[in-house]
Amino acid sequence: MSATEQKIAVKDLVSDQEVRWCPGCGDYAILKTVQKVMPELGVPRENMVFVSGIGCSSRFPYYMNTYGFHTIHGRAASVATGVKLANPELDVWVVTGDGDALSIGGNHTLHVLRRNVDLQLLLFNNEIYGLTKGQYSPTSKVGTKSPSTPDGSLDMPLRPCTFAIGAGARFVARSIDTEAKHLASVLVRAHDHVGASFVEIYQNCNVFNDGIFEHVKNKKTAAETRLLLEHGKPLVFGGENQKGLRLNSIALKLEVVDLGEDGVSEEDLVVHDETNKVLAHMLAELKSPEFPVPIGVLYCNPTSPYHTEVYEQRDAVRERKETTDLNALLRDGHTWEV
C-alpha cells in the first residue's frame, strides 16, 4: 500500500514541533479540531498545504505534519494563490488572524475572495494583536483599551463576514474555537466548497483580550445568544426554540420575535437560504446583545474557481495554437535571412 492510499491517522498530522502558544489559548482547540478533520477529507497528506502570514495564528503550519509555509505579514493569501496556480492538485489552507488578514493583508484577503481561489481561509478572530503584545486590531470594539490606545480605540471595527460577503466570497461561515463538533462540521463544509471558503473562527486570547466572546461561548447562555444556521430551516433560537427572526419588510431588516406571541408562528420566520446573498449580509450584520450571533454557514453559492478558469483558458489557447515549439515562437512574425 502506498503512502497515499493509507488512511491518515490524527497522529500522522501532528508535527514534532513543540506548540508555543500561551497556555489556555483558543488556538490549541482549533489545531486539535483541524488535525481531527483532515483525515476525513480524503486528501493525501502530501497534497495538504498550510500557508500562513504573521501572528499567533500563523504559527499554525509548524504544528501540522503536512507541507507548510510560514510567510510574511498579511501575504499568506497571495502566496497561497501562487501555490494553487502552480499546482491545482494541492489542497490549500490559509491560516490567518484579524490583524494579518484584515489590516496589513486586507487587500489580499479582498482579492483572494473575489478571485475565488480554491482554498480554505481560516481567520482566527480574537479582536486583538497578540504577538506584538496586545494592541487593538481592526476588529476590536470601539473603546478597546490597549497599549497603543490607553484611552480607548476610536475607529469602527470591521466585521469579517460582512467584509467577505462584500468582497464577493462564495462561501462564508462562522464558528467558535472550543465548539469542536460545530467547527469540524464547518471545516468540512468549507473544504467541500470548491472555491475560496472564508471561515471566521471566534478565538479567545486569554492573555490580551480574555472573554470577549463569552456571551456566545458561555454554555449557560449560549442558547439565547447564538443563532445556529441550517440551510432550509427557519431562523429560531432560545432554550426552547421559542424565539425567531422575522423580516420586517417595511424597514427591510431582521427583527427578533417570540413564537406564539401576537400570533407569530414558525411560518412567519425567515427560512435560512445559504444561496441568498442579501440574507447572508443581514445575518453577518447582526450584533449582540440586540440579536443572537449567527453561527454556521452564512453563505454558500459556488461558482467556477479561479484555477479552473485559468487552465481552461490555457487549454483553449493550446487548441488554437498548434505548436509549443519555442524555436517556432522565436521565428514567428517578420523574419529575414541574410
Partner 1 sequence: MSVAGSSSAGEQENKVISDVVIRFAGDSGDGMQLTGNNFTDATAVYGNDLSTFPDFPAEIRAPAGATFGVSAFQIYFGSEDVSTAGDHLDVLVAMNPAALITNLKDLVIGGLIVADSDAFTDKNLARAGYKSNPLEDGSLDAFKLLAIDITKQVIAVVKPYGLSHKFAVRCKNMWTLGLTMWLFDRSRDEAIDGLRKKFASKPEIAEANVEALNAGHTYGETAELPSGVDVYKVPAADVVPGVYRNITGTEALAFGLIAGSQLADLPLVFASYPITPASGVLHTLSMQKHFDVVTFQAEDEIAAICAAVGASFAGSLGVTSSSGPGISLKGEAISLACAAELPMVVINTQRGGPSTGLPTKTEQSDLNQALYGRHADTMLPVIAASTSIDCFEVAIEASRIATQFTTPVLILSDGYLSNASQPWRIPDVNDFEPFPVKFETEAEGFSPANRDPETLARVWAKPGTPGLEHRIGGIEKSIETGDISYDSENHQKMTDLRSKKIDGIAKYIPEQEVAVGNNSGKLAVVGWGSTYGAIFQAVKRSREAGLDVSQIHVRYLWPLPSNLGQLLSSFDALLVPEMNTGQFASLIRSIFLLDAQKLNKISGQPFKIEEIEGAIRAQLESAK
Residue ranges binding partner 1 (CB under 8 A): 2-4, 15, 17, 44-49, 51, 54, 61-62, 64-72, 75, 77-87, 89-90, 107-108, 110-111, 310, 313-314, 317-318, 320-321, 323-324, 326-327, 329-331, 333-338
Q: How far is the CB of 183 from partner 1 (least distance, A)?
A: 23
- Shortest distance, position 79 Cβ to partner 1, whole Å: 4
Given the C-alpha cell 487552465, which residue does it identify?
A: 311
CB of 60 to partner 1, least distance (A): 10
H or E stretch including 191? helix 180-192
Q: Give me the least distance between CB of 277 and partner 1, in Å please.
A: 22
Distance in angstroms (rounded) separating the CA atoms of residues 35 and 25:
17
- The full length of the chain comes to 338
Give the separation between CA 8 and CA 230, rounded to whole angstroms.
30
DSSP readout, 78-103?
HHHHHHHHH-TTSEEEEEEEHHIIII
Cβ pair 138, 157 in contact under 8 A: yes
> What angle (nearest 5°) sits at the alpha carbon of residue 201, between those of residues 21 and 30?
45
Shortest approach of partner 1 to residue 103 CB, angstroms? Answer: 14
CA–CA distance, 264 with 246 (Å, rounded to integer): 9
All three cell numbers of 143, joined, read 473603546
Query: What minimum distance in Å lies between the beta carbon of 81 and partner 1?
Result: 5
Q: How far apart are CA 117 and CA 305, in angstroms?
A: 6
Q: Could you give the 3-state DSSP secondary structure of residue 245?
A: strand
CB of 31 to partner 1, least distance (A): 14
Phi and psi at 322, nearest 5°, equal: -80, -35
Type of residue at 180: A
Cβ atoms within 10 Å of 68's Cβ, excluding its own:
18
